[in-house]
Amino acid sequence: MGSETSGNSNNKSAVVLSKLATNEQHGENSPYFDGWKAYDNDSFHLVNNPNGVIQMGLAENQLSVDLVEEWIVRNPNASICTTEGIESFRRIVNFQDYHGLPEFTTAIAKYLGKTRQGKVKFDPNRVVMAGGATGANETLIFCLADPGDAFLVPSPYYPGFNRDLRWRTGIQLLPISCTSSNNFKITIEAVQEAYQNAQQANINVKGLILTNPSNPLGTILDRDTLKKLLTFTSQHNIHLVCDEIYAATVFDAPQFISIAEIIDDNEIRNHCINKDLVHIVSSLSKDTGFPGFRVGIVYSFNDDVVNCARKMSSFGLVSTQTQHLLASMLSDGEFVEEFLIESVKRLRKRHEKFTNGLEEVGIKCLKGNAGLYCWMDLRPMLKEPTFDAEMSLWKLIINDVKLNVSPGSSFNCPEAGWFRVCFANIDDQTVEIALARIRMFVDANNNVNENGVVKNKQQWKKNKLRLNFLNGKYDENAMNMNMMSPNSPIPISPLVRARN
């Protein structure tokens, strides 16, 4: 059966896939995903591959996994695959209602409130589960828009939105340009301009998408900005989608403010805000570090959207085994409280350690207070302020410094030279190695002029970067091989090579 195409390799060209399957909207060819491929092909390991690529392009929270492991040990009955929990096995494995286990949706609603400082309450009946934030975002777009419609989104924005929001839905994303002149803050004027431009181009704008806290900036939206944006969307009768998957990663003042809190603001109520146009996307991938559980949440204030999203969730349900475990864990109020407090402490400590290490070598980052990453400013290292120069620098960092950081162009950043670097998915020792690689990379650049001539050979030697310019090789014994790739082009500054 099907032998006419599968039995002979010569006939492979005869297989025709759908336009949806083969279009370029997935975004897989983005440098963002290319960096992951480079890591997959040469993954760093402290013992087995110390010269490999360190993964700093993955926004994953692994800093507090030990707390979860300890809870699981203390609560074996939370799993249906243990002697203590086996009595729930039959009920859980036979449950098929796509509304979700009642104890799960109740626990999720309480958790959402907890991660917003208890300032708002969430209704379990409005909790719709999906296969991670990816599935939640796509489900919501399917409910709100038709192919060809558009959503405004502040740039820079998460590269995965091209896949999550556009690929299968057929909608458009229209960037709202935000720049470093005001620390990439979104302004109502920029939103108005983007909306007007779309109107003039006869593009049907269905909504505005916000990521709060921001990925990749690591910043949050203030109350005044949220009020203005909510007022704008209501006045223009378009949807406001707030992706709040990093809500519990805010590690410094000011506190996170959810759009759910803004809706209940007395001042906003006087502006005739339409709650039916407001929707929240959440997940457990970032806050708790459970990306493999694929728990995404659509929370809408619109009854019709809730009902439609719930029907669509049939294509990406969370397994009942996972629901059962998480219902037990998230219902443990004492544990959740302690976990969130400790997680924030560890994120703050790691952020300070990494940004301080960058500052020591003259690299600045946008000031942020949330997320699992930094928005790193490498503009001074570019030959010229172009995206071609950015890509040249990025390729050197990937291939020679062996760090997978993500270039700003993959986030649709309007300025060249910005990079997102993640710090919460690796251990302390790997952070030290990454910083050491960056330090030597910067030292190499600082000690070589644009013509490739060493400016201070004595300082070069002090940095253990003794070069032999006659034979084009460096002294391998002078370098800790845990810190730099043996393929690093040290005799010629990496940035000089980028200029050629």
Catalytic residues: 158, 243, 245, 286
Distance CA 173, CA 158 (A): 12
Non-local CB neighbours of 230 within 8 Å, separated by 6+ positions: 240, 259, 262, 263, 268, 273, 278
Long-range contacts of 484-489 (CB under 8 A, 24+ apart): 484/51, 484/401, 484/402, 484/437, 484/440, 485/51, 485/399, 485/400, 485/401, 485/402, 486/51, 487/399, 487/400, 488/400, 488/401, 489/400
C-alpha 261 chain-centroid distance: 24
Distance CA 394, CA 402 (A): 10
Beta bridge partners of 375: 420
What single-letter amino acid sits at 352?
E
Question: Nearest to residue 375, comparing CAs of 249, 169, 256, 215?
Answer: 215
Distance CA 164, CA 180 (A): 27
Q: What token pair was written down for 452?
A: 């490739």
Under a CB-based contact definition with an 8 Å cutoff, are residues 88 and 325 in contact?
no
Under a CB-based contact definition with an 8 Å cutoff, are residues 186 and 154 in contact?
yes
Phi-psi region of 272 (alpha: psi -120 to 50; beta: other; left: phi over 0): left
Beta bridge partners of 281: 243, 298
Under a CB-based contact definition with an 8 Å cutoff, are residues 370 and 256 in contact?
yes
What stretch of H or E contains 172? strand 172-177
- Alpha carbons within 13 angstroms on the beta-carbon side of residue 207 total 20
- Cα(first)–Cα(last) distance of the chain, in Å? 55
Distance CA 163, CA 420 (A): 19
Q: What token pair was written down for 354?
A: 């990494």
